[in-house]
Chain A
């Protein structure tokens, strides 16, 4: 298989897988029962999306879908640093989500139109769910930004801390460039303009400030992760590492 294509698929799948794993940590601990259920739904959608992509790779490479999430090393994951960041509290979780959902929604809307019909089909299936994720996180950001003084402060702090992870999705990797050049994949510069505009509108409506001066954290697309990633994988891969080669 074309290596760039595989890498592009893994970037995409790993984003959804790792964020799904993070969100699933909330299950049973949400602030309100209804939101516990809603966040679990999003986790289910994301892991489901990642699974379609791992299944596609598995069918092409003669491997198993579980090999990808459970048997790769940290440096072989290509997800964004954003999605591996810890949940912290509901404010961080929602800000992380709203940043990711903006990227994810516009990204899928473009992949749907690419020349690779298998990828286009998966994007088309997922975008319907992701439209709902975007609505959910946007509404929560507005509600909490424009709720009480305390909630505004908590949300602002989350924005200040997470903004440095917001640029990485749009920094093209070699795989992104290849997809754009040869498969009519997303133009990330163009995507950034559209997604950021929509995101900043939500931030403004929420009475929050997007910080002017930003450091940019990156490296996920090349397999260079934050320290959080190793622990996430240690948990996620525990069974496959402790009992290698078995079916469950």
Chain B
């Protein structure tokens, strides 16, 4: 008992000194579980997040856009890889994590359960979804768990590039024909509220927040980050002549930020529960890829084993 409490004391000292917890350090079981939940959810979000944008790769309108979108979706796969690796340092392997995704035990960001209906959605996702992701993720670069924090440094650099790229797509649409501008406005209308939901429930209703803050996994509350996102994004929309679909949106000079209308949390919880417009399709696409890849993975493993045996035999001989 005393041993545990002294370990815990040491653990909290590291946290309080803003130093990093590393994989071999002692950590409370709840800290480990929280991190596995959060990092794997994040990794799954990157992988599932490839699907809505992947939906437009084959239809991208120009060579430049096609190459940029392919590279972007590939970056997301790369983020998934770093994050699965960071998660594996906590003593869980990738195949278990994938099983958790496929059985619905693990979640991924609900935003990816919305459909990408037009090319403008590639702009809106980059601008809003990656923009919201950055707000959430920049503080994670200082997260107390070393491997996660280091992975996030790389992820954030790329996300910020994606966000600029998305905004640029929207800018070009807004400078284009009336039809193009209408596509941009329609995409903003559909992605605005789901983007605000990406920060999670209001602080009062957030279940995991308290300990996450104490352990410096999380540094700012959901509502704080959401407010920052709104304050950053509204002027960007105005700059290119788009209207945020919120009649209650108003600048409040007292708080030097925007007041905005109520979020439809019923919709949020419905999507979390699996009833969003694309939940089934997204999960099915991931499960299909995994199942159709089964023989490939088995063959690769069998071949590697044969090679290993050959080299052992040749060493003995």
Question: Which chain A positions have C-beta within 8 A of B179?
Answer: 243
Question: Is A248's beta carbon under 8 Å from chain B?
Answer: yes
Residues of chain B within 8 A of A144, CB atoms compared:
296, 299-300, 303
Are B299 and A148 touching (Cβ within 8 A)?
Answer: yes
In the assembled complex, the Cα of A236 lies from the Cα of B172 at a distance in Å of: 21
How many whole Å from A172's CB to the nearest CB in chain B? 28
Interface assignment of B67: CB less than 8 Å from any CB of chain A: yes
Q: Do residues A65 and B299 form an inter-chain contact, with CB atoms below 8 A?
A: no
Are B63 and A44 within 8 A (Cβ)? no
State in angstroms the CA–CA spacing of A40 and B81 once bound together.
15
Whether A47 and B295, one on each chain, are in contact in the complex, defined by CB atoms closer than 8 angstroms, is no
21 A-B contacts, Cβ less than 8 Å apart? A28-B50, A32-B293, A33-B47, A35-B296, A37-B74, A37-B81, A50-B63, A90-B293, A90-B296, A143-B299, A146-B306, A147-B299, A147-B300, A147-B303, A151-B298, A236-B58, A243-B177, A243-B180, A246-B176, A246-B177, A248-B61
A247-B80 CB under 8 A given contacts A28-B285, A47-B66, A143-B300: no
Interface code B74-108, partner A: CB below 8 Å = 1, 0 otherwise? Answer: 10011011001000000000000000000000000
Q: Which residues of A contact B316 (CB under 8 A)?
A: none
In the complex, which residues of chain A have a beta carbon less than 8 angstroms from the beta carbon of B119? 239, 248
8 Å CB contacts to A: which residues of B134-187?
A: 169, 172-173, 176-177, 179-180
B66 CB contacts on chain A under 8 angstroms: 24, 47
What is the number of contacts between chain A and chain B, taking CB atoms within 8 Å?
A: 135
Interface residues of B: mostly helix, strand, loop or mixed?
helix
B293 touches A28 (CB 8 A): no
Which one, A54, A146, A151, contacts B296 given CB within 8 A?
A151
A residues 211-248 near B (Cβ < 8 Å) are 235-236, 238-240, 243, 246-248
CB distance from A147 to the nearest CB of B (A): 3
A174 adjacent to chain B (CB < 8 Å): no
Is A30 in contact with B58, judged by CB distance below 8 angstroms? no
Q: Does A89 contact B (CB under 8 A)?
A: yes
Interface residues of B in 252-288 (CB under 8 A from A): 285, 288
Contact A47 B70 (CB under 8 A): yes
Using A28-B51, A35-B296 as known contacts, list a sample of 15 further A-B pairs with CB atoms less than 8 Å apart, ordered by residue number in A. A27-B77, A30-B289, A31-B289, A33-B84, A43-B70, A44-B67, A44-B71, A54-B63, A89-B292, A142-B303, A144-B300, A146-B303, A147-B300, A150-B295, A246-B180
Q: How far is the CB of A232 from chain B (nearest CB, A)?
A: 8
| Among candidates A25, A89, A248, residue contacting B58 with C-beta atoms closer than 8 Å | A25
> With A24-B57, A147-B299 as given contacts, are A33 and B172 in contact (CB-CB < 8 Å)?
no
Residues of B within 8 A of A74 (CB): none
Task: Return B69 CB to nearest CB of chain A, in Å.
Answer: 9
Q: Chain A nearest CB: distance from B295 CB in Å? A: 5
A229 to chain B, nearest CB (A): 14
By the criterion of a CB under 8 Å from any partner CB, how many residues of chain A are at the interface? 47
Contact (A248, B302) CB under 8 Å given A30-B289, A33-B77: no
Q: Are B57 and A27 in contact (CB under 8 A)?
A: yes
How near does chain A come to B146, taking the closest CB pair, in angstroms? 23
Encode B45-67 as 1/0 by CB contact (under 8 A) with A: 00100110010011111110111
A86 at the interface (CB under 8 A from B): no
- The docked-state distance in angstroms from the alpha carbon of A48 to that of B61 is 15
Q: Is B297 an interface residue (CB 8 A)?
A: yes
- The yes or no answer to B128 lying at the interface (CB within 8 A) is no
